[in-house]
Structure 1
Amino acid sequence: MSFDLNLLLFWAIAAIAAWVQTLTGFALGLILMGATGALGLMPVPQAAAITSLLVLVNAVIVLSRGWRDVDWPALKMVLLGAIPMLIVGFYLLHFLAGSALGLLQLLLGVVIAGSAAQLAARPKLRETRSPPITFFLSGLIGGTMGGLFATTGPPVIWHLYRQPMPLAAVRVTLVSVFFLTQILRTGLVISSGGITQSMLISAAGAAPSVVLGTWLARRFPPRLETATIRKTALLLLFLSGISLIFSAIGKLG
């Protein structure tokens, strides 16, 4: 990939995604994958690989301060479900990328639009903690999504925010899930020979963009309410997902 407008736009989207995630606590991967897919900036496997790297950058910044708040039992059960299905999802992505690009784009659109709709519906807080098996099941679904599109979050986010846990524990546990699953995903990319020069160039500019977006959100928080930013981001995510779905249906038809 040369230094063209698409590359600069990808870096800008990475900064915006990190800014939104720092303020709202969700969806760096969803924003980056949704915008990249809707605008056609790069192939889905490459975008997912770079997204994994950027999630790691953001997670290191967050966990360097708050790792002591991790809910270890929840993290363990989510990872037990997520890790095997992430591997399945990763190899499914490469199968579809080689044989069914239209179907892959349709899946991405459904994941983006569905995740935005799910995150827009605030989960009702439970009075008691859910059974451990439910954390495992949320990990199964999230791991599949993480393997396909580097977006482990939505099912796990929805489930953890229903629990009677301190918000700090929920947020840091989620970041820990993202961090550990994307380490695995990045390892799969490396082992499969998926690291290319164009990917390294894209990541080299996007990583500082993520750091910049995170710093700006902390140093100069906007006057807008976080809820307004969240609603706007979810609406744009939903629209990008719908755009991907209609585009894919046109190709499949």
Structure 2
Amino acid sequence: MGFEQLAAFAGIAAVAAYVQTLTGFAFGLVMMGVIALAGLLPLPDAAAMVGMLTLVNAVQMLAHGGWREVARRELRLILMASLPSLLVGYVLLEWLADTRVDALKLGLGAVIMLSSLQLAMRPAGLARRSSDASFVGFGIVSGLMGGLFSTGGPPLVYHLFRQPLPPERVRETLVAAFGAAQIVRLGMVAASGNLPSASAVALVCAVPAVMIMTYAARRWPPPLSRQTMRRLVFVLLFLSGLSLALPAAAHLLVAAQL
């Protein structure tokens, strides 16, 4: 990666960390969408880098008292289901990256767009906590998405924000789930020998940006309502997902006609 690419990568990471700290999710969606759209890295390398930076953001948030707010029972159920399915998603990523890159980009674009629509349509809250089986089910889906794209957030965001829990508790539980998933995912990447070659230099540039923006978001949140913030993130995610999915779909259609 040249200087301009490193600067762009650090800038994307800074924006993603700011959004993640304010909302409790969207770090992977923002980074994967913009990186794939700009072509900064191959998708498997981008997913590994996103995982490393997600872990930095999670550790910083939880270390500053966030761990006290984690809903431990719900977190255990989620991890029990999501970590095994994470392996399945990662194996699927390796296969698609070698044989069907356009299908992979189309899938990522669709995930980003659907996730943005979910963000725009805030789910109605439940009067009573959902069953343990529901946390397991959403954990499985989250693990598959996390293994594929390092973006396991949308299913958990939808499910947890419907629960009768304080927003702070939901946010910190999400961050803890994402951090644990990335530890496992990065272990898989390292074990398979697929750590991105540009990771060291890019991390040196991006980690300070993530840490600074995580602190800034907690210390000086923007003078925007939560609804306004959600709308801004929705527009950003939907446009990036659409821009990524349309060219991939066009390439697949052309290939099918040949």
Q: TM-score range by the shorter chain?
A: over 0.9
Measure, in 2, the Cα distance between the counterparts of 1:44 and 1:172.
Answer: 27
SS at match of 1:151: coil
Measure, in 2, the Cα distance between the counterparts of 1:225 and 1:32.
Answer: 23
- Tell me by how many angstroms 1:69 deviates: 1.8
Q: Any conservation in 1 of the 2:25–2:175 contact (CA below 8 Å)?
A: no
Residue 199 (structure 2) aligns with: 199
Residue 8 (structure 1) aligns with: 7
Q: Any conservation in 2 of the 1:89–1:143 contact (CA below 8 Å)?
A: yes
Q: Any conservation in 2 of the 1:7–1:41 contact (CA below 8 Å)?
A: no
For each residue in 1:107-126, what CA deviation from the matched residue of structure 2 results, as whole angstroms up to 9, or x when unmatched? 11011111111122111110
Measure, in 1, the Cα distance between the counterparts of 2:250 and 2:176.
Answer: 38
What TM-score, normalized to structure 2?
0.94
- Tell me by how many angstroms 1:46 deviates: 0.6
Where does 1:83-94 land on structure 2 (aligned, <5 Å)?
83-94=83-94
Measure, in 1, the Cα distance between the counterparts of 2:81 and 2:192.
Answer: 23
- Tell me by how many angstroms 1:35 deviates: 0.9
Measure, in 2, the Cα distance between the counterparts of 1:27 and 1:203.
Answer: 19
Q: CA RMSD in A?
A: 1.3
Measure, in 2, the Cα distance between the counterparts of 1:42 and 1:140.
Answer: 27
- Tell me by how many angstroms 1:20 deviates: 1.6
SS at match of 1:130: coil
Residue 115 (structure 2) aligns with: 115
Q: Which amino acid aligns with 2:16?
A: A
SS at match of 2:128: coil
Measure, in 2, the Cα distance between the counterparts of 1:196 and 1:41.
Answer: 12
Where does 1:53-68 land on structure 2 (aligned, <5 Å)?
53-64=52-63, 65-68=65-68
Measure, in 1, the Cα distance between the counterparts of 2:81 and 2:5.
Answer: 36
What TM-score, normalized to structure 1?
0.96
SS at match of 2:32: helix
Structure 2: segments with no counterpart, 5+ residues: none
State the identity as a percent: 46
Residue 163 (structure 2) aligns with: 163
Measure, in 2, the Cα distance between the counterparts of 1:95 and 1:223.
Answer: 45
- Tell me by how many angstroms 1:247 deviates: 1.1
SS at match of 1:190: helix
Measure, in 2, the Cα distance between the counterparts of 1:23 and 1:83.
Answer: 25
Q: Any conservation in 2 of the 1:86–1:146 contact (CA below 8 Å)?
A: yes
Q: Which amino acid aligns with 2:215?
A: W
- C-alpha change, 1:212 and 1:33, in structure 2 (3 Å) is same
- C-alpha change, 1:4 and 1:250, in structure 2 (3 Å) is farther
Residue 172 (structure 1) aligns with: 172
